[in-house]
């Protein structure tokens, strides 16, 4: 079971949902504006408690003439239409992968579709506008995601692509996400504009409980959510998150510059990927045991290529990375060593100026935590202080513009 320490379970998701179903928070920029809703589901693996089965689902659109997404040539898909009641119909794609604890099925789903984003106060819904709504791809299969009108739960429906099912993936997912605790389940908003309308806009729910049915089997786990608008060239980054069994949450974030921005393919471990210049890093630890949130402005991430003797490998025979993360502030120091146990990756190639093509590879890694040390004024905590810790890490290279 998933339990919180001294944290009452909320009856509904709290926070400001006014922009949750919109796409127009920032003025769009051609070839740069990117919008997505993103769920990551983590399900304890009974065969290997140090790992979790994972499902990622993305509903996305981009303001561009054309982009190749992992071999699917997307031509923008048509115009976006917003009606006077706030409903939106837009071109986009649904993308998903599934990790069963041993194997990554990617893509689980990769489908182009017109989609509708409808708030609950829309006449088609007929609700009272408390923040509920849905993103509904207009397809024969139900690939929808939404929030109940009373904000008591989210739902997620997914039907796998035929090719993934033939390779052994589950065929259907029906999931329900409910609040976990007050601290990590309330929606949080972050917004920043740099110059010339370039910037980002992020809504996040750091942790929820998750229950549901996968191919007739009942499951229970946790989930993470973000809705993002990015209006800037996509540069390399490290990011990762961890859920703890006591209801704590931890993440790290480190964008960086290196020669990896010149990469034109998705092959890892390039000789040019060295000498990274860290940009502004950050981290956060929502500590259920201490009943407080720690924020970190000092963050280091080291990418480690294990020897073949120590390595696990992705489906293409590449050794999976290890990450060493350090974060500290005036009160708390955190050190973590995690290893990737699977790799899902998306390759983006977008025509740009002067008949050139920009490339970006985005990798997601289900994790196993090998070591963790958290030192604060009350002492040191290690891996033995939690029943389980599950998470995911990202590493990207190239530059999309």
Asked if 188 and 245 sit in the same domain, the reply is no
pTM: 0.94
Asked if 264 and 276 sit in the same domain, the reply is yes
pLDDT for the residue numbered 335: 98
Question: Tokens in use for 236?
Answer: 């390399």
pLDDT for the residue numbered 3: 38
Asked if 396 and 357 sit in the same domain, the reply is yes
Asked if 70 and 109 sit in the same domain, the reply is yes
CB-CB contact of 67 with 362 (8 Å): no
Asked if 194 and 207 sit in the same domain, the reply is yes
Burial 252-284 (b: 16+ CB within 10 A, else e): bbbbbebebbebeebebeeeebeebeeeebbbb
Strand, coil or helix: 163: helix
Tally of domains within the chain: 2
Structural domain ending residue among the three candidates 198, 231, 264: 231
Q: How many Cβ atoms sit within 10 Å of the Cβ of residue 161? A: 19
Asked if 307 and 357 sit in the same domain, the reply is yes
CB-CB contact of 205 with 190 (8 Å): no
Q: CA–CA distance from 356 to each of 68, 70, 195, 349, 353 (Å)?
A: 14, 18, 25, 10, 6
Asked if 157 and 254 sit in the same domain, the reply is no
pLDDT for the residue numbered 21: 93
Asked if 32 and 171 sit in the same domain, the reply is yes
Question: Which range marks the domain in which residue 312 is found?
Answer: 233-401
pLDDT for the residue numbered 4: 40
Asked if 327 and 380 sit in the same domain, the reply is yes
Q: Kindly list the averaged pLDDT for each block of 10 residues, start to end, along the chain of length 401.
A: 55 92 68 82 96 97 80 76 85 96 97 94 82 95 96 97 97 98 93 60 95 98 93 82 98 88 84 75 95 95 91 92 97 98 92 78 96 97 97 90 70
Backbone angles phi, psi at 163, to 5 degrees: -65, -40
Q: Is 367 exposed, middle or buried (0-12, 13-18, 19+ CB in 10 A)?
A: buried
CB-CB contact of 274 with 296 (8 Å): no
H/E segment holding residue 306: none
Asked if 166 and 49 sit in the same domain, the reply is yes
CATH label of the domain that carries residue 309: 2.40.370
């Amino acid at each position: 079971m998933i339990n919180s320490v001294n944290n009452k379970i909320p009856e509904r998701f709290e926070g400001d949902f006014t922009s949750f179903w919109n796409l127009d928070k920032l003025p769009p920029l051609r070839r740069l504006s990117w919008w997505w809703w993103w769920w990551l589901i983590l399900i304890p693996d009974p065969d290997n408690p140090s790992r979790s089965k994972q499902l990622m689902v993305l509903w996305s659109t981009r303001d561009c003439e054309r982009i190749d997404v992992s071999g699917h040539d997307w031509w923008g898909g048509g115009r976006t239409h917003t009606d006077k009641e706030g409903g939106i119909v837009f071109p986009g794609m649904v993308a998903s992968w599934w990790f069963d604890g041993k194997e990554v099925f990617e893509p689980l789903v990769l489908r182009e579709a017109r989609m509708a984003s409808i708030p609950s106060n829309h006449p088609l819904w007929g609700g009272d506008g408390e923040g509920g709504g849905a993103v509904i791809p207009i397809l024969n299969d139900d690939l929808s995601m939404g929030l109940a009108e009373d904000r008591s739960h989210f739902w997620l429906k997914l039907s796998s692509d035929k090719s993934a099912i033939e390779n052994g993936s589950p065929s259907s997912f029906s999931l329900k996400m409910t609040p976990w605790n007050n601290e990590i389940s309330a929606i949080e908003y972050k917004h920043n504009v740099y110059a010339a309308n370039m910037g980002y806009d992020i809504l996040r729910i750091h942790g929820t409980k998750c229950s549901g049915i996968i191919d007739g089997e009942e499951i229970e786990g946790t989930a993470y959510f973000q809705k993002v608008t990015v209006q800037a060239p996509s540069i390399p980054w490290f990011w990762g998150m961890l859920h703890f069994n006591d209801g704590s949450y931890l993440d790290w974030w480190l964008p960086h510059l290196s020669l990896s921005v010149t990469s034109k393919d998705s092959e890892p471990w390039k000789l040019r990927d060295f000498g990274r210049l860290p940009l502004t890093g950050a981290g956060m630890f929502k500590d259920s045991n201490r009943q407080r949130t720690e924020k970190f402005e000092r963050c280091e991430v080291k990418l480690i290529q294990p020897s073949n003797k120590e390595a696990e490998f992705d489906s293409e025979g590449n050794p999976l990375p290890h990450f060493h993360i350090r974060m500290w502030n005036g009160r708390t120091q955190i050190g973590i060593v995690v290893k990737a146990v699977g790799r899902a990756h998306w390759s983006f190639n977008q025509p740009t100026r002067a008949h050139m093509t920009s490339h970006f590879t985005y990798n997601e890694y289900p994790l196993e935590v090998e070591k963790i040390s958290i030192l604060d004024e009350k002492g040191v905590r290690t891996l033995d202080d939690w029943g389980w810790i599950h998470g995911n890490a990202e590493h990207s290279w190239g530059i999309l513009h």
